[in-house]
Amino acid sequence: MLPVTEPLLSVRSLSVEFDAPGSGPFARRRTLRALDGVSFDLIRGETLGVVGESGCGKTTLARAILQLTPASAGRVLLHGEDLSKLGRFALRQRRRAMQLVFQDPLASLSPRMTIGEIIAEPLRAHAEGRDTGARKARVVAMMDRVGLLPGLYDRYPHELSGGQCQRVGIARALVLEPDLVVCDEPVSALDLSVRAQIVNLLMDLQHEMGLALLFIAHDLSVVRQVSHRVLVMYLGRIMETAERDALFAAPRHPYTRALLDSVPVPDPTLARARTVRTLPGDPPSPLDPPSGCVFRTRCPHAQPLCAERVPVLRQVGGSLVACHFAEDI
Amino acid sequence: MAAAAEPILVVDDLNVSFDTRDGELRAVRGLDFALYPGETLGIIGESGAGKSQAVLAVLGLLPTNGRATGSARYRGRELIGMPGSELNAVRGARIALVFQDPMSSLNPYLRIRTQMVEVLAHHAGLRGVEARRRAVAMLEAVRIPDAVRVLERYPHEFSGGMRQRVMIAMALLCDPDILVADEPTTALDVTVQAQVLEILRDLQRSRGIATLLITHDLGVVAGQCDRVLVMYAGRIVESGSVDGIFNQPQHPYTADLLRSIPRLDRQGRLNAIAGDPPDPMLAPPGCPYAPRCSHRFERCDRERPLLGARLSGAAACHLDAAGD
């Protein structure tokens, strides 16, 4: 096993650009920078929560890490190995170690395959457990681990509840015993009374299997529940990153503060007592990001400097924060 | 507060069912509630609890395979079974609607001005300059900057938050008595949700519109509502004041739900509820929550508990004081 301090996953200055069609037949093609210079490390047994609103690049980040979307710049290192330098065959080998859990549990399961076949599919694809008896035993053991009764082995996804389907999705991701699991909004499509089951299951499995988890969600309460560290993104850039408790106790970036302020509290007494300072406007278009700090158009503390210079991530208190005035606010 | 006044909407024994390939699906079963002037009544429940189907039935908006029985009276006028032409005069003018997805409720081919003026012409007989002035005033009321220019634009030119504000402005054009908001902020980002919720609170305060807010978000309910109905498997399992529901929940489902959600101000392992929401095609004889309830006893499987009065509000549970 790796020493704990060595990162399992290192992301270095990762950028992703998409071509966006211009409007009109002669318009210049435009570039949409979905991810702009993102760097972080993830160690074994650690959960990194990634939060941000729609369009902030969190799903693009997941896809770029898994080499499903090509990066325009930067590197993704797994066990110190640059994934973009690998050939197709070698990358396919490394994919065993990186798995994905999707948002919509039913849509991400093939309707024509049984639950047993779905969970066995990664084993088949990676030519593991050719002995069908042994393969089935592994699938059944995995089903047990995620809380699926063995009687569901021959059932089809549409016969299962949303929560059960997400357990199948998790079992499929874990059956190859990966090192890294990327969860993209894994509970937001589930019924309210079922979410806690899946959150607890993911936390238990992570602990038992020593997984590194990249947990992407827009729900800050869920992210706080599962994460050791949190990354706050806005318009493709990291605004702030810190240990979970530091971030929620003393957020340094104005955007992190606004996000935390905006979450409705499920307590009428507290809700009446607090004044929500709502952010004006909407996130700007990623096709036409503001100069300097991308958050400045909605920031209550914006100064002329913010339009001129892009703030770099720097240590303030317990956080790495990209704000020129993090000390003053 | 509201309790002294006459309710403006009274729903009595409302049942909604759908004909499906697999048989009859009973989405709402014997729903009773009253909405009072100026209050915000929250209906909370998970998907399949029947909360949206209940309000669609009240407004005569069920799909063709849906059927509503029972009664829903707006200021004494029966809405269930009301002829379409008559219902159109109430709906949109007296009772306004805001849905989750504003894009699907706005016509993508028409300028905002055309859509707003059409509403005013149809319901209020306003035309020309007067209609236009009214439209601008409503857009300004929902804090849309540069309202005169916004009128000339098309829905796709707006962000989700702007569209939802335009929808709210359109809903309020005819000065309705009741605003029905079905998951109005579910599709929005959290910072934009905060803006829209603030606007809804302000409008409520300044205009005194009775609001029926349907949501699955307990945080939204806590910040917006005066009273709350908790629905499960097509029925109300608990009703009460927002403080009663959150501070002293009387039904195990409400209590369990409140304990299961992660919160920014709380740490520790979540108390997950076992099992799944019930299949709406099935209706076992006892309490619909019994299979998941930690207080379950023999009577719960045999006999469905009726909604009975509690210290505050009402709950449908065989336990005297649930959650103890």
pLDDT digits (tens, 9 = 90+) for A225-277: 999 999 999 999 999 999 999 999 999 999 999 999 999 999 999 999 888 78
pLDDT tens-place string over residues B106-142? 888 999 999 999 889 888 888 888 899 999 999 998 8
CB-based contact A257:A274 (threshold 8 Å)? no
Q: Which of A58, A106, A146, A192 to mutate to test the interface with B (most CBs of B within 10 A)?
A: A192
Determine, for residues B161 and A163 on separate chains, whether the beta-carbon distance falls below 8 Å: no
CB-based contact B17:B25 (threshold 8 Å)? yes
Chain B positions in Cβ-Cβ contact with residue A298 (cut-off 8 Å): 191
Determine, for residues B191 and A191 on separate chains, whether the beta-carbon distance falls below 8 Å: no
CB-based contact B323:B252 (threshold 8 Å)? yes
Determine, for residues B276 and A164 on separate chains, whether the beta-carbon distance falls below 8 Å: yes
Report ipTM (2 d.p.): 0.87
In sequence order, which residues have a C-beta less than 8 Å from that of residue B11 and are 6 or more positions away?
A: B31, B32, B33, B34, B54, B58, B70, B71, B72
pTM given for the model: 0.91
Q: Output the tens digit of pLDDT for each of chain A's 329 residues.
A: 444 568 999 999 999 999 887 667 777 778 899 999 999 999 999 999 999 988 899 999 999 999 999 999 999 999 999 999 999 999 999 999 999 999 888 888 999 999 999 999 999 988 776 788 889 999 999 999 999 999 999 999 999 999 999 999 999 999 999 999 999 999 998 988 899 999 999 999 999 999 999 999 999 999 999 999 999 999 999 999 999 999 999 999 999 999 999 999 999 999 998 887 888 888 888 888 999 999 999 999 999 999 999 999 999 999 999 999 999 88
Tell whether B291 is within 8 A of chain A (Cβ): no
Give the count of alpha carbons within 13 A of B300, CB side only: 19
Q: Are strands B227-232 and B210-215 parallel, antiparallel or unpaired?
A: unpaired
Give the nearest chain B residue to A265 (CA atoms).
B219
Distance CA A329, CA A239 (A): 15
Neighbours of A147 (CB within 10 A): 17
Q: At what angle do helices A192-209 and B252-260 cross, to 10 degrees?
A: 40
Chain B positions in Cβ-Cβ contact with residue A278 (cut-off 8 Å): 191, 194-195, 198
Q: Which residue type, as a one-letter code, is found at position B84?
A: G
Q: Which domains does chain A have, with CATH numbers?
A: 9-21+31-104+182-195+203-273+291-328 (3.40.50.300)
Determine, for residues B261 and A195 on separate chains, whether the beta-carbon distance falls below 8 Å: yes
User: Residue B152 class from Cβ within 10 Å (0-12 exposed, 13-18 middle, 19+ buried)?
Assistant: exposed
Determine, for residues B260 and A264 on separate chains, whether the beta-carbon distance falls below 8 Å: no
Two tokens at B49?
Answer: 């609890």
Distance CA B113, CA B130 (A): 12
Chain B positions in Cβ-Cβ contact with residue A159 (cut-off 8 Å): none
Give the count of alpha carbons within 13 A of B37, CB side only: 10
* H/E element, B300: helix B298-302
Give CA B24 to chain center in angstroms.
Answer: 24
CA distance B322 to chain A (A): 18
